Amino acid sequence: MQSNVMAQANLASCSKVVCTHNWDQSQPLQNYSPHRGTINCVVWNHTSTKRFYEDKALASCSIDGKIVLVSTEKPDQPAFEVNFDPQKIVSVNSCAFSSNSRYIAAGGADSLVKIWDMRSTTKEVPIVLRSHFGSVTSVAWSKFDDIVASSSMIGDIFLNSARNGNVIENFASKGQDSINMIRFSQSETHNRLGACTSSGGVL
């Protein structure tokens, strides 16, 4: 894959491969296979983190239990790759960058949320969030990176401090519908959180 092709992309999608797209083209610009298995989530970084890459980069997570970061500079060589659980394969359902792209949070089928420092050379997990009792479906950072939100298959949402992992607040969907996705607003003054459920509701 040529790095200048991926650098032109502004949209990404995933299935068993990751595809990059441009708004005005019907066909993908390029595709690549960073995982062995279905890919559950793919996200662009927000800013450059020069320890690993200079410009755009994509993080993806999969049922193979890995989180992989690919840069535009060396798209065939993962800039960061880590196993969600070093001891066994745990499907990773969602991943999200902090606003400065230094940290990446990921949620697994084992009910855990883990946060990695992309500048760490040892790939240590600085924070493990153990709030959920069901498979984690989505993770999201607040605008100022002080809160990590996560949701699960059993319909709960937890807000945890990104600094120490403490629970700040928790919610539950009516009837305990599975929460499919959560996202923070980008307001300068409020940390508003939206969620969508398996029954088609928006919270």
| Residues across the chain | 203
Predicted confidence at residue 75, as pLDDT, reads: 67
* Average model confidence (pLDDT) across the chain: 85
Predicted confidence at residue 2, as pLDDT, reads: 47
Domains of the chain (ranges; CATH) run 3-197 (2.130.10.10)
Give the pair of three-digit tokens for residue 96.
Answer: 């999200």
Q: Which of 15-24, 111-120, 134-143, 152-161 has the lowest mean pLDDT?
A: 15-24
| Contact predicate 86/112, CB 8 Å | no
DSSP track, 98-154: -TTSSEEEEEETTS-EEEEETT-SS----EEE---SS-EEEEEE-TTSSEEEEEETT
Residues 7-15 have a mean pLDDT of: 76
Residues 143-159 have a mean pLDDT of: 94
Predicted confidence at residue 72, as pLDDT, reads: 64
Q: How far is CA 202 from CA 109, 110, 129, 191, 198, in A?
A: 23, 25, 25, 17, 10
pLDDT tens by residue, 35-69: 999 999 999 988 655 554 445 788 999 999 999 99
Q: pLDDT band at 1, cuts 50/70/90?
A: very low
Task: Give which of 6, 1, 31, 33 is closest to 19, Cα–Cα.
Answer: 31
Percent residues over pLDDT 90 in the chain = 48
Predicted confidence at residue 4, as pLDDT, reads: 52
First to last CA, the chain: 40
Percent residues over pLDDT 70 in the chain = 87
pLDDT tens by residue, 77-109: 788 889 999 999 999 999 999 988 889 999 999
pLDDT at 34 over 80: yes
Predicted confidence at residue 29, as pLDDT, reads: 82
Put simply, whether the predicted model's pTM sits higher than 0.95 gets the answer no
Handedness of CA 9, 193, 66, 125 (dihedral sign): positive
Q: Between 65 and 120, whose confidence is greater?
A: 65
Task: Give which of 108, 103, 99 is closest to 142, Cα–Cα.
Answer: 99
